[in-house]
Amino acid sequence: MEGLKVWRLSSSISRPSSFRQLFGLGSSSCLILRCSDGGAATTSNTRLPSRNLRSSTSTSTSDREAVRAIRLKKVEQLRSKGLEPYAYKWDRSHSARELQEIYENLNNGEELDSESHHVSIAGRIVARRAFGKLAFLTLRDQTGTIQLYCEKERLLNDQFEHLKTLVDIGDILGASGSIKRTEKGELSVKVDSFAVLTKSLLPLPDKFHGLTDIDKRYRQRYVDMIANPEVADIFRKRAKIVREIRKTVESQGFVEVETPVLQVGGFEKVYEIGRIFRNEGISTRHNPEFTTIEMYEAYSDYQTMMNIAEEIVTRCALAVHGKLTIDYQGVEIHLERPWRRETMHNLVEEVTGIDFTELGNDLKVAKDVILKALGVGLDIKDKFSIESCPSLGHLLNEVFEIFVEPKLLQPTFVLDYPMEISPLAKPHRSSLENRHAGLTERFELFICGRELANAFSELTDPLDQRARLEEQVRQHNKKRAEAVSVTDGTEKNNKNEESMYEVTLDDDFLTALEYGMPPASGMGLGIDRLVMLLTDSASIRDVIAFPVLRISH
């Protein structure tokens, strides 16, 4: 439990004020710069050579500090002119996307200057150009981008100069004006008033190189979303996926609960979406905190959960992509149902040529056969894992994970896991006929070589469950004793640290089973990995807004 506390502390330190970061930085009041009533200037159809307005985007420490100092002076200049650089509010009439859709059919060179076409927008400035008395700024909000078309003659007094000298890339602006499509076909807001809503003090990452420091991307997710708009799109898709998951399971009669509830509590179909913590390493596939949906259905078995898993994934794919053939990291994935269903034994034989049912019950002999047949080319870690297997069931699973799992690119339900690695699953019903002795009614779903879901027919025999858990505790305590003997009072290392934790029997769970739990199936499905699949994201940290990170020194 101490390990949990330490990780939780690290997590909270790495993710301060997450909601605030998603929205951006602070707010204050503003003074709107209004245009004169007169004179719309004519624009030239000739494209002049572009000349960048002054801005700094260098990301080195010294340059960042220099830029920050310059922008702090601009804050003072704005205030000295009666213009508040941190606004309280801005009334928007449209988003960028809404304007693009409404005026989709506006012709090149056409302008709509009537009151009915007067609009108000707000967003971050991500690009700008100037041609003498004309300036173009690209404004981006959460829906997309639109151009601000700014003429000196249209703005009062020195406001055009304020625009050029006091507004930087990264600033958040509000702007009002009429609609125009330029001769080059760019839909624009022809600005007649604007306000600095938030003055940015630090430069955004370079447009062409972006935020390339991976660790910094995750620690400063707010900058990542500004510099890489596609990142924010991942989290919109994640929200859509979670919403579709809820719709799918609730359409089948499941009730959302805060903690999974046995049927004795009066619920026969329950689910929970929540964060789960495991004190394990960080990789592109693993994060110590991750989100899953767990569900239980009374009077059903693991076949039922296979159908539900197919339904959830396909409905989410249709919600995000509108189709069931998708691309993941260059691999075309076909999600059309039904998906392949095959036993672990058969898949291992298919890939390795070894039939585990013919290896007998001698674990040492089985290991020798495996290493002789498959040991060439294995790295030291995999050989050690095979040699360390405490049972035939563990050995079968180890061979599966090393040789078969990476090859399961298309959706595949792997069925009937060994009992030794499935302590909560019912024995296979055919084990009574000795056809599936030592196996359980459990499956895992694999797509792109990754486990996406784990499910089983729930073990409801309290005596069988107690015996299995007692054996687990016994095995763990044996490892723990060996680990203590190895360390002999010296500092713990990563290899034996997991075995050092004390494990006790869950008597409350076993007592609940003794009151009687109906036949049931349960499933856990990884939402983070599903989002990875449906957004073509290579790392799990790309789909978690504020992932757990190692503490930087």
What is the number of H-type helices and E-type strands within the chain? 17, 17
Q: Is 481 left (phi over 0), alpha (psi -120 to 50) or beta?
A: alpha
214: helix, coil or strand?
A: helix
Strands (E), 399-449: 412-415, 442-447
Kindly give, in sequence order, each residue whose CB lies less than 8 Å from that of residue 140, ignoring residues fewer than 6 positions away. Answer: 96, 123, 124, 125, 126, 229
Same domain, 124 and 243: no
- CATH number of the domain residue 508 falls in: 3.30.930.10
Phi and psi angles of residue 261, each rounded to the nearest 5 degrees, phi first? -120, 135
Same domain, 194 and 233: no
The tokens for 171 are 């600033």
- Start-to-end CA span in the chain (Å): 25
- CATH number of the domain residue 137 falls in: 2.40.50.140
Q: How far is CA 229 from CA 182, 189, 233, 514, 532, in A?
A: 25, 22, 7, 54, 17
Domain-terminating residue out of 176, 198, 220: 198
The answer to whether residue 536 is domain-embedded is yes
Same domain, 116 and 166: yes
Query: Is the sign of the CA dihedral 538, 540, 546, 550 positive or negative?
Result: negative
**CA neighbours closer than 13 Å in the CB half-sphere of residue 509:** 12
The answer to whether residue 211 is domain-embedded is no
Distance CA(325)–CA(312), nearest Å, equals 15
Domain-terminating residue out of 155, 182, 198: 198
Same domain, 505 and 388: yes
Same domain, 256 and 359: yes
User: Tens digit of pLDDT per residue, the chain (553 long)?
Assistant: 222 222 222 222 233 344 334 444 333 333 344 343 333 333 333 333 333 333 434 446 678 889 999 999 999 999 999 999 998 889 899 999 999 999 999 999 999 989 999 999 998 899 999 888 999 999 998 889 999 999 999 988 788 999 999 999 989 999 999 999 999 999 999 999 898 998 988 887 765 345 566 766 766 666 777 777 777 788 889 889 999 999 999 999 998 887 644 446 556 788 999 877 665 555 555 556 778 999 998 889 999 999 999 999 999 999 999 999 999 999 999 999 999 999 999 999 999 999 999 998 999 999 999 999 998 889 999 999 999 999 999 999 999 999 999 999 999 999 999 999 999 999 998 875 665 679 999 999 999 999 999 999 999 888 899 999 998 888 888 888 877 776 555 544 444 555 567 788 888 888 878 777 778 899 999 999 999 999 999 988 888 777 766 666 5
Distance CA(10)–CA(217), nearest Å, equals 17
Distance CA(133)–CA(127), nearest Å, equals 17
This prediction has a pTM of 0.69
Same domain, 516 and 450: yes
Taking CA 139 as the corner, what is the angle to CA 134 and CA 141, rounded to the nearest 5 degrees? 165
Same domain, 263 and 121: no
- The pLDDT score that the predictor gives to residue 298 is 85
- Given a contact cutoff of 8 angstroms between Cβ atoms, the answer to whether 174 and 199 are in contact is no
H or E element: which one contains 237? helix 229-251
pLDDT, one tens digit per residue, over 271-292 is 999 877 665 555 555 556 778 9
Taking CA 126 as the corner, what is the angle to CA 122 and CA 129, rounded to the nearest 5 degrees? 105
- Given a contact cutoff of 8 angstroms between Cβ atoms, the answer to whether 502 and 533 are in contact is no
H or E element: which one contains 273? strand 269-277
The answer to whether residue 547 is domain-embedded is no
Q: How far is CA 237 from CA 95, 214, 331, 530, 533, in A?
A: 19, 21, 20, 11, 11
Q: How far is CA 16 from CA 21, 198, 432, 443, 531, in A?
A: 8, 21, 55, 39, 24
Same domain, 185 and 256: no
Number of structural domains the chain divides into: 2
The answer to whether residue 533 is domain-embedded is yes
pLDDT, one tens digit per residue, over 154-181 is 988 788 999 999 999 989 999 999 999 9
- Given a contact cutoff of 8 angstroms between Cβ atoms, the answer to whether 510 and 462 are in contact is yes
Domain with 188 in it:
64-198
The tokens for 258 are 């805060």
**CA neighbours closer than 13 Å in the CB half-sphere of residue 152:** 8
Unique residue bearing structure tokens 């940015």: 200
Query: Among 35, 46, 40, 49, which residue's Cα sits nearest to residue 131?
Result: 49
Same domain, 277 and 149: no
The answer to whether residue 40 is domain-embedded is no
H or E element: which one contains 466? helix 462-487
Domain-terminating residue out of 198, 216, 244: 198
Same domain, 91 and 240: no
The answer to whether residue 26 is domain-embedded is no
- Given a contact cutoff of 8 angstroms between Cβ atoms, the answer to whether 19 and 546 are in contact is no
Same domain, 273 and 414: yes
The answer to whether residue 215 is domain-embedded is no
- Given a contact cutoff of 8 angstroms between Cβ atoms, the answer to whether 521 and 429 are in contact is no
H or E element: which one contains 127? strand 119-131
Same domain, 194 and 262: no
H or E element: which one contains 298? strand 289-298
Distance CA(311)–CA(376), nearest Å, equals 41
The answer to whether residue 522 is domain-embedded is yes
- The pLDDT score that the predictor gives to residue 23 is 42
Kindly write down the DSSP assignment for every residue of 381-406, as one continuous string.
HHHHHHHT--SHHHHHHHHIIIIIGG
